[in-house]
Amino acid sequence: MNETHSDNHTDNHGATHTDNHGATHSSTRKESVTVLGLGRMGSALAGAFLDAGHPTTVFNRSPGKADPLVARGARRAATVAEAVAASGLVVVCVLDYDAVRGLLEPVAAELRGRTLVNLTSGSPEQARAEAEWAAGHGIGYLDGGIMTTPPGIGDSANMILYAGGPELQAAHRPALSALGDPVDLGPDAGLASLYDAGLLGLMWSVFGGWLHATALVGADGVPAKEFTAVSVRWLRTVSWFLTMYADQIDAGEYPGDDATIDIQVAGIGHLLHAGEERGIDGRLPRLHLELMKEAVAAGHGGDSYARIVEAFRGKRSA
């Protein structure tokens, strides 16, 4: 939980609040933000805060990386301590969690009572350890997962996942919204990293399937752009299946009301045949076929495709 700041911190939040004397008042000034780490992503984050009108302090070990942001109105801090002291909201985005701790351990006392938003990529276990470290020093902590590349920062169509403190996300939502659409995953600080890993896996699987399909139809002269227009429409239907299958997975029941695994084994056979005739690498569909055949051999051929989740869980139930 974030502690009460002195007036010069709370006034930066740009919202109605109560000062240390119990008086409620309102400020129209946008919240001040500090960004630590000015690689491509960190620079994009700082730029989005500036574009949204937030007073922004920046720090990078190589000071020259701050020059373009300073030219746009950012304040350059000479030290991490100076950067932290400038804002109640501190955002860090560096190479890894070791780099995060290296930056912040020496200024833990200065961070006390402030909110730290860690947008560095890492594992759920690292995020939970960092949240524990922050709590031990009286630091409000949010761990985040950025679901876009630097050019997408600042676009509300793109998600930024946050976990570790719903009350902190609510308090800082106006500032965090400058980066993208803030999605609250709840109090477990590890969930942003976990979702990030899972969603990237989903992305690579979709990319792989689309590339395989594009190579397949391209063998008969179909342009990728033409095929992709139809593919995007098909993915809307696929999303409907995902929603239905999610309910089945949560219930642990896989009725084959839409299409059974048996039927889909036959269907993937057509895909493999078409690929072989055109010299298309079939490793990806053969993996799906292998998983399907295992389910059929275990007596689940009449179930829906959602049953395959058990194979990924390592459960080959009879």
Separation of alpha carbons 217 and 211, rounded Å: 10
Check residue 271 and give its pLDDT: 97
- Give the pair of three-digit tokens for residue 11: 């006034």
Average pLDDT (233-262) is 96
Check residue 73 and give its pLDDT: 98
Q: How many CB atoms lie within 10 A of CB 240?
A: 10
Single pTM value for the model? 0.88
Q: Which domains does the chain have, with CATH numbers?
A: 7-187 (3.40.50.720), 219-312 (1.10.1040.10)
Q: What is the pLDDT of residues 215-232, one digit of tens each?
A: 999 999 999 999 999 999
| Lowest-pLDDT choice from 22-31, 160-169, 288-297 | 22-31
Separation of alpha carbons 46 and 34, rounded Å: 8
Checking DSSP bridges between strand 89-92 and strand 33-36, what pairing results, if any? parallel
Query: pLDDT band at 194, cuts 50/70/90?
Result: very high
Q: What is the dihedral of CA 171, 143, 180, 169, to 10 degrees?
A: -10
Q: What is the dihedral of CA 266, 315, 200, 237, to 10 degrees?
A: 40
More reliable by pLDDT, 307 or 20:
307
Measured N-to-C along each axis, helices 224-251 and 191-218 cross at an angle, to the nearest 10 degrees, of: 140
